[in-house]
Amino acid sequence: MKTVVVAPFSNSPIRDWPLQNYGELVDLLLSDRDCRVLITGSGSQWAAANELVRGRPAVRVVNSCGYLTWAEVLDQVNKADCVVANNSGVAHVAAALGRPTICVFGASHSPYEWMPRGPAVILVTKWVVCGGCGFDVGGSCPYGVRCLTEISPEEIYRHCRGVLTPGEPLPLGASDAVREPVTTDLDQDVSELTTRVGTAFTQ
């Protein structure tokens, strides 16, 4: 059974893909894949993460928020067959560790500057005219954070399916929100990155 690590939170609400969308993604994974889903986050995110567990089989969807040490989170990420995350510390660490990483990236920050970097990154974003606004709070956006809300669970699932079953024909319907895998050299020592993210993660 393959493991998909899902990190649905970041340190800035405007970067977070709607939790309902993550729930729909989990349902798609459970209905079509022999996989388990591990929800990861800090202790303060445990209650919100329960929305992704409630009503779904406990043996296949696990809320680990607050239960794992940072070292244990790193171990789970490093063993994952696929990691799905917002533009967050977990996405950057997973990418740096070389794990297949699907990053749901809001356009409030430039992907060229802030995208996760690694050999197996798929960046999914929605190009909008207001991109690069720099907002940190979703309520500040007069357009309802279209750069994230218009990315569908089916789009992200399409890429999960491609990662979990290489060579299998992908479902139709991907939008122009999808960019090709990024294969840039890491510009930062991995141990330094994991230490810095871990400090923020456990606070």
Predicted confidence band at 180 (pLDDT cuts at 50, 70, 90)?
Answer: very low
pTM of the complete model: 0.82
Measured from the Cβ of residue 2, the count of other Cβ atoms closer than 10 Å reads: 16
Query: Is the pLDDT reported for residue 178 higher than 50?
Result: no
State mean pLDDT over 68-76. Answer: 94
- 56 or 177, which is more confident? 56
Mean pLDDT along residues 63-76: 95
- Pair 106, 85: CB distance under 8 Å: no
Instruction: Give residue 175's pLDDT band: very low, low, confident or very high (50, 70, 90).
Output: very low
Question: What's the total number of domains in the chain?
Answer: 1
pLDDT at residue 174 tops 60: no
* pLDDT, greater one: 190 or 65: 65
Local confidence band at 12 (pLDDT 50, 70, 90 cut-offs): confident
Judge whether residue 110 has pLDDT over 90.
no
pLDDT at residue 179, rounded to an integer? 45
Write out the chain in H/E/C secondary structure: CEEEEEECCCCCHHHCCCHHHHHHHHHHHHHHCCEEEEECCCHHHHHHHHHHHCCCCCCCEEECCCCCCHHHHHHHHHHCCEEEEECCHHHHHHHHCCCCEEEEECCCCCHHHHCCCCCCEEEEECCCCCCCCCCCCHHHCCCCCHHHHCCCHHHHHHHHHHHHCCCCCCCCCCCCCECCCECCCCCCCHHHHHHHHHHHHCC
Question: Which pLDDT tens digit goes with each residue over 114-163?
Answer: 888 999 999 998 876 676 667 765 567 777 777 888 899 999 999 999 99
Instruction: Output the pLDDT for position 187.
Output: 46
d(C-alpha 108, C-alpha 132), whole Å: 5
| Per-residue model confidence as pLDDT tens digits over 21-48 | 999 999 999 997 789 999 999 999 999 9
Identify the CATH number of the domain in which residue 149 sits: 3.40.50.2000
- Domain limits at 19? 2-201
